Amino acid sequence: MHKPVPVPDPTSEAYWAAAAEHRLALARCGHCGRLTHPPDVVCPHCLSTDPGFTFEPVDGRGTVRSWTVLRDSFLPGFAEDIPFVLVDVELDVQADLRLIGRLVDGPDTPLRLGDRVVTVFDARDDGPPVPAFSLDPTAEGAR
Amino acid sequence: MSDRFAARSQVAVVGYAHSPVRRHHDVPLGALALDTALAAIADAGLTKDDIDGFTTGSLLPTSGGHASVDGVSVVTANWLAEHLGVNPRFCAGFQGFGQIPGSVTMAVNALATGAADYVVLHRALHNPPRGRYHANPMTRAAGPMQWVAPQGYFGPLSMIALPYNEYLQRFSASRDAMAAVLVEARANGARIPWSYWHEKPITPQDYLDARVIAEPIGVLDCDIPVDGVAAFVLTRADRARDLPHKPVYVAGYAMGSPKRTRLPTHWPLDDIMEAGFEIRRRLEDATGVTVDVIDVPQLYDGFSPFVYFWLESLGLCPVGEAHRFVQEGIDAAAGGLPILSGGGALGNGRMHGVPQMLECYLQLSQRAGDRQLASATVGLACHSSPHFGGAVMYTAEPL
């Protein structure tokens, strides 16, 4: 049973192409210059209807704002991974820019709000690597 | 006051009916909806020929990819009108998540403007007979799902687990504290004849022993999927006075909406709370009634953490204190703040905002029987998360 494979489309193909090279690339608005994720029809910051998003590599470091440990899954392919941790991360690169991904350090990892993480990539057999997170070993107070 | 709701106290709820709530009914959902609507019309002292307006929110709230078939798994306002043999002047569905307050806004606006004279508002909920409610067989994640499903973030349990854990961590609260909410919801649901949980109260230990699915969300933090239908009849206040039951007046309403683009089903705690604070301001502006005088504040509880979020964002207890407040403060039978006196969704089954609206109606019309509260003058019926839902204020007397 395979996990859901991302299907790139014109709004996302640059994101997944970068992920294939283990780089996190996010959409920057050509009008106001701010990042947004996921890219929408309009820029959520300046409301431009012609945001002309370009994807550019960003620093994948961030801060844990919440997490959940999944002990059941409602999607194919995750049964063998249970339990696993998903973290809600605010990236350093822009205030309130949030991503959700797996924490690859395991379900017993002690976590606190404010823990520092780095973006890593979760390899898949049948699709592009999927952005995920790991506790930042270089962070002050890292355990 | 320019923000005061122009239709304040002009519309009243005048009757209701509720089907038995079961995991699966042996009749089609549409048939259950027709019988329930007819019972509500009769309860209001009317016949179907009097009804000229219909409204509902018909969403099937599962992420499991089950088909929405009108009359079978959902029942739209148009389907109900057509199959009752009524050609209504007003017929509309609410598209958002706060289906009950959303439907009430449409009914009130239609009645106050004369677009209809008697409106049936119904909600039909369905539990698909096959497959898990939220399990989805997707193998390809296209469109919005590509941003979350490949990492396993999917569905409403993960959705609520993140802001709930954010709450627990921020305020150093224990998930065990929520046992008080479940015990109260189920104690009240156990007294309601149509409830799925009729005569089935639970103990705090039952809650603590229940399976955890998406930490800190366990199976008992979620309302149980059911087949069930409720219907209400609303009309203008001048017409309501001639009907058999004491009218319950709509004082006003307030809806919330998300302010930021987020990943699918990503609901950070601050997004939820910010909308809740705004709903309180809008409600007080619309009605001229402050929340401290609400004596029947029915909070939404489809997932138990919503009880904390509504308690705090409405100002019924200080921010960060709900997990303590519920330990002593919400036992309706002992004179506590009756936030779940109608059992809520946790005590009735997944009837969405119906238990909250119905409890406001039953208490304020003095029809709550042996559950009747000593003081029932101002009710509030909340539904959904504040940032996707809303709240309707009811009064026993016109303002």
**Domain assignments of chain B as residue spans, ordered by start:** 11-130+223-395
Q: Is B293 on the interface with A (CB under 8 A)?
A: no
Q: Is B160 on the interface with A (CB under 8 A)?
A: no
Residue A65, pLDDT score? 98
**Considering Cα of A99, then A104, then A106, then A108, what sign does the dihedral take?**
negative
Q: Do A44 and B261 touch (CB under 8 A)?
A: yes
Task: Report how many Cβ contacts below 8 Å link chain A to chain B.
Answer: 132
Q: What distance in Å separates the CA atoms of residue B246 and residue B118, rounded to the nearest whole number?
A: 16
Mean pLDDT of chain A: 95
Chain B hits for A130, Cβ within 8 Å: 150-151
Q: Distance from B131 to chain A by nearest Cα, in Å? A: 11
Q: What is the mean pLDDT of residues A62-80?
A: 94
Give percent helix, percent strand, percent coil of chain B, each to the nearest 5.
Answer: 40, 15, 45
Q: Do B214 and A70 touch (CB under 8 A)?
A: yes
Q: Is B214 on the interface with A (CB under 8 A)?
A: yes
Better-scored residue on pLDDT, A87 or A1: A87
CATH topology of domain B11-130+223-395: Peroxisomal Thiolase; Chain A, domain 1 (3.40.47)
Mean pLDDT of chain B: 96
Amino acid (one-letter) located at B371: R
Give the closest residue to B325 by CA, choosing from B335, B337, B341.
Answer: B337
Give me the helices (H) in B210-268, please: 237-240
Which of B152, B212, B266 lies closest to A71 in CB terms?
B212
Identify the contact set of chain A against chain B, taking CB-CB distances under 8 A: 2-9, 12, 36-38, 40, 44, 65-76, 78, 81, 84, 86, 88, 96, 98-102, 112-113, 122, 124, 127, 130-132
Question: Where are the domain boundaries for CATH 2.40.50.840 in chain A?
Answer: 59-143
Residue B297, pLDDT score? 98
Q: What is the pLDDT of residues B81-136, one digit of tens each?
A: 999 999 999 999 999 999 999 999 999 999 999 999 999 999 999 999 877 877 88
- Whether the predicted pLDDT of A36 surpasses 60: yes
Half-sphere exposure (Cβ direction) of B151: Cα atoms closer than 13 Å: 26
Residue A142, pLDDT score? 64
Q: What is the mean pLDDT of residues B327-351?
A: 96
Residue pointed to by tokens 């050609």: B87
Confidence bin at B2 (pLDDT 50/70/90): low
Q: Do A71 and B268 touch (CB under 8 A)?
A: no
Q: How would you class B211 by CB atoms within 10 Å of its CB: exposed for 0-12, middle for 13-18, buried for 19 or more?
A: exposed
Q: Do B263 and A44 touch (CB under 8 A)?
A: no
**Considering Cα of B20, then B25, then B30, then B31, what sign does the dihedral take?**
negative
DSSP A124: -
Residue B227, pLDDT score? 97
- Contact (CB, 8 A) for B225 and B127: yes
Q: Do B151 and A132 touch (CB under 8 A)?
A: yes
Q: What is the pLDDT of residues B16-41, one digit of tens each?
A: 999 999 999 999 999 999 999 999 99
- Whether the predicted pLDDT of A67 surpasses 90: yes
Selected for mutation to probe chain B from A100, A104, A124 (highest B CB count within 10 Å) is A100
Residue B280, pLDDT score? 98
Which of B140, B151, B169 lies closest to A100 in CB terms?
B151
Better-scored residue on pLDDT, A126 or B112: B112
Q: What is the pLDDT of residues B65-80, one digit of tens each?
A: 788 999 999 999 999 9
Q: Do A6 and B136 touch (CB under 8 A)?
A: no
Nearest CA in chain B to A81: B152
- Whether the predicted pLDDT of B270 surpasses 80: yes
Chain A hits for B163, Cβ within 8 Å: 66
Selected for mutation to probe chain B from A85, A88, A99, A124 (highest B CB count within 10 Å) is A88
Which of B146, B165, B261 lies closest to A6 in CB terms?
B146
Q: What distance in Å separates the CA atoms of residue B288 and residue B299, rounded to the nearest whole number?
A: 20
- Whether the predicted pLDDT of B261 surpasses 90: no
Which of B141, B151, B166 lies closest to A122 in CB terms?
B151
Compute the residue count for chain A: 143
Chain A hits for B141, Cβ within 8 Å: 4-7
- Whether the predicted pLDDT of B1 surpasses 70: no
**CATH, domain range A59-143:** 2.40.50.840
Q: What is the mean pLDDT of residues B292-313?
A: 98
Q: What is the pLDDT of residues B160-192, one digit of tens each?
A: 999 999 999 999 999 999 999 999 999 999 999
Q: Is B155 on the interface with A (CB under 8 A)?
A: yes
Q: Do B214 and A72 touch (CB under 8 A)?
A: yes
Q: What distance in Å separates the CA atoms of residue B56 and residue B46, rounded to the nearest whole number?
A: 20
Residue B192, pLDDT score? 97
- Whether the predicted pLDDT of A81 surpasses 80: yes
Question: What is the DSSP track for B271-332?
Answer: HHHHHHHHHHHHHHHHHS--GGG-SEEE---SBTHHHHHHHHHTTSS-TT-HHHHHHHS--G
Q: Distance from A31 to chain B by nearest Cα, in Å? A: 17
Q: What is the mean pLDDT of residues A70-87?
A: 93
Confidence bin at B351 (pLDDT 50/70/90): very high
Report field, pTM of the whole predicted structure over 0.90: yes
Q: What is the mean pLDDT of residues B274-279?
A: 98
Residue A143, pLDDT score? 57
The least confident of A68-77, A88-97, B155-164, B245-254 is: A68-77
The answer to ipTM > 0.85 is yes
- Whether the predicted pLDDT of B364 surpasses 90: yes
